[in-house]
Structure 1
Amino acid sequence: MNIVAPEQIIIYFIDLIFIFFSVIFLKTSITMIRRFDFNSSTTFQYTLEKKNTLISAIVSFLILLKLPLIFFFLYLLDSLSSSIPGAMCAVGVLNSTPYGAYLIILKVTILFVLGYWFYINKFDLQTYGFKYTKLKYRLLIFITLLIILEFLLEINLFNNISPEKIVSCCGSVFGGELRQFSTFLINIENSLSVLAIIVVFVVMTLAFMFKKYRLYGFTVFFFLLTAIYSLIDFFSTYIYELPTHRCPFCILQRDYNHIGYVLYFLLFFGTFYGSNLLVLSNITSEKTKRVWINISYAMCLIYILIVSFYVLKYYIGNGVWLTD
């Protein structure tokens, strides 16, 4: 196992904690799915209910550890770029193996699924008869598999990092007519990427105004995709004030006031709470839906205002738009 930075040990340690408890919970999860029966008054059922409460508390605590870990992971990748030839930011580190982009996508997916589990568990404990117990333990098994896969991809990533290996910088990855990040192609004209996010946000706004929860929850996934595309293809150039610099990771650096952490926090949590309206629509109350849609729309709106601010700031200061 290749240890390239002390922070890597922290990531491995927390991941191993997750794997350790998840594997332990596997047996209990299978038992819960097969034998949990609230209507039963046996000693075994009482034991299962106590285990349910205990596991719920432990997993909820582990989720609190996992939430900031993805941002810490991005910080670690960015800090490693200075020791890898050709790398200017986290892009070069991720491109050191063909699995870097998949690992980022998997981490975000795990973050979303853990969030879904947290709220399913919350509703389960509040519902008479623990109505969603079997559902949340099926999801817990799936989460365990994702976490194990994540750990294997992390080991592969760090094991293939070498100070002697030259990698592509973000200018090469996201520059030119065809911009490629590992196996993911980005080839959208600036005007189209901006138009796409405007159209999606308008639909989100209408769904928000008329409280169309399922439509909002469905649209928010497209908002996440178009926001990332437009950030890479358009808005990042105004943050860097350089038309050829398109990178979703350099904005994490101190030179740009770490604005990337703020943008990704707003984007991920805004879309997560919005997606709850679709994924968890059948198990939550109208009051909770109103809270979720308000939080989601506020975060997404703030994201739009921040990235738009950089565009207007450049135009007001220079009197022209950035062009390639």
Structure 2
Amino acid sequence: MILQTPILALLLASALASAVALWAAWFGIRLLQHWDLASGSQRQLDLERRTELVSTLFGFVMLIEIAALFLLVFNADRMAALFVGAMCAVGTFNVNGWGFPALYLKITLFFAAALWLILDRVDRLGRDFPLTRLKFATILGIAPLVLAGFATELAFFLNMKTDVITSCCSKLFTPSNEGFAAEMTGLARAHALWLLGAAGGAVLVSGAAIVLRKRGERLFALAGAAFFFAALTAIVSVISLYVYDHPNHHCPFCLLKREYGYFGYALYVPLFAGTALALATGLLKTVANSDSLAGVQPKAIRHLTRLSLAGFALFGIAVLWSIATSQLILFG
């Protein structure tokens, strides 16, 4: 194991999140068994008091998990210099078999945490704890993800050895290889941009329907998810080429490096945020239908939609900027 401050911070954060998640899940089981707003028993009063504490602490560790995704990737990029064959975060994650599973779990936790935090926020706006049972039932699903994330992250760092020769992005993101990354790389550049444009149009139309006509929330959530995957595909297939000014450099991780002005963060932060907010609109439309949220739900959904559209717009601006300022000519 390589002892570095970011590694210790990530492990401590994951350990804390795991402890709180286990405690919150245990409390959630009790709450689901005994929660009864119509009851004035001492047990119900105790549950209502403790709900606030558990929700606050669990929300805190969910914020930590959101930040931990970016710290994990940033640290992996910085550590690439320690391994033979590594040029970016891809090489670090390929040092052993636990790197990419740890990353994928962190991405999953990012979206789960964001959705739970929004659910918790809306629940607090209701006068009768309308989403409390659902909120704690969701914790029972998130807790295993937190524990699995901690386990894979710990295995990743414990099995990290500097004498390993690793493979990097030049081997992974190439059309000649097999796998999903190779398929994204090999997708025709024009097709990738058309796919991104079509997904962006669907997001814009469905988002406008929510803001102007108060309908289409689930469609907007689906469009946001489609835009997310279309954007990742376009980044690998064509957008990265403009950033690097190189016709064959497809790595989506090198975008996060200092020599490219950390431009990847200008792409990924608004993209991830916009997607999470879009998914939240569909979630709230589906579950936040109680009488006490009748006036809250539509306003919350429209607010989330505007924020999501802003995130996608910032991503689009970053894409256009990368194309406009690049010296590379791919079309025409």
TM-score normalized by the length of structure 1 = 0.92
**1:304 alignment partner in structure 2:** 316
Aligned counterparts of 1:185 and 1:280: Cα–Cα separation in 2: 35
**1:28 alignment partner in structure 2:** 27
**1:313 alignment partner in structure 2:** 325
**2:291 alignment partner in structure 1:** none
**2:220 alignment partner in structure 1:** 216
Aligned counterparts of 2:147 and 2:115: Cα–Cα separation in 1: 19
- Letter in structure 1 aligned against 2:261: N
Aligned counterparts of 2:137 and 2:81: Cα–Cα separation in 1: 42
Point out the more displaced range, 107-116 or 83-92: 107-116
**Equivalence map 1:187-206=2 (5 Å):** 187-206=186-205
- Letter in structure 2 aligned against 1:53: E
Aligned counterparts of 1:49 and 1:61: Cα–Cα separation in 2: 19
Report the CA distance shift for 1:258/1:159 in structure 2 as closer, same or farther (over 3 A).
Answer: same
Give 1:161 shift. Answer: 2.2
Give 1:294 shift. Answer: 0.9
Deviations 1:303-324 (A, max 9, x none): 112112211222xx56x3379x
Aligned counterparts of 2:19 and 2:280: Cα–Cα separation in 1: 28
**2:236 alignment partner in structure 1:** 232
Q: How many residues align?
A: 318
Assess if the C-alpha contact under 8 Å between 2:169 and 2:251 holds in 1: yes
Query: Could you say what secondary structure the match of 2:37 adopts?
Result: coil
Give 1:22 shift. Answer: 1.6
- Letter in structure 2 aligned against 1:190: R
**1:81 alignment partner in structure 2:** 80
- Letter in structure 2 aligned against 1:24: W
2:41 aligned with 1:42:
yes
- Letter in structure 2 aligned against 1:297: L
Report the CA distance shift for 1:237/1:299 in structure 2 as closer, same or farther (over 3 A).
Answer: same
Sequence identity of aligned pairs in percent? 23
- Letter in structure 2 aligned against 1:224: F
Aligned counterparts of 1:179 and 1:293: Cα–Cα separation in 2: 38
Aligned counterparts of 2:155 and 2:174: Cα–Cα separation in 1: 27
Give 1:181 shift. Answer: 6.8
**2:268 alignment partner in structure 1:** 264
**1:68 alignment partner in structure 2:** 67
TM-score normalized by the length of structure 2 = 0.90
Q: Could you list the runs of 5+ residues in structure 2 that have no partner in the other structure?
A: 211-215, 289-295
**2:58 alignment partner in structure 1:** 59
Deviations 1:259-301 (A, max 9, x none): 1122111010011111111122131611111111111111111
Aligned counterparts of 1:201 and 1:126: Cα–Cα separation in 2: 32
- Letter in structure 1 aligned against 2:229: L
Assess if the C-alpha contact under 8 Å between 1:174 and 1:180 holds in 2: no
Give 1:175 shift. Answer: 2.2
**2:299 alignment partner in structure 1:** 287
Assess if the C-alpha contact under 8 Å between 1:267 and 1:300 holds in 2: yes
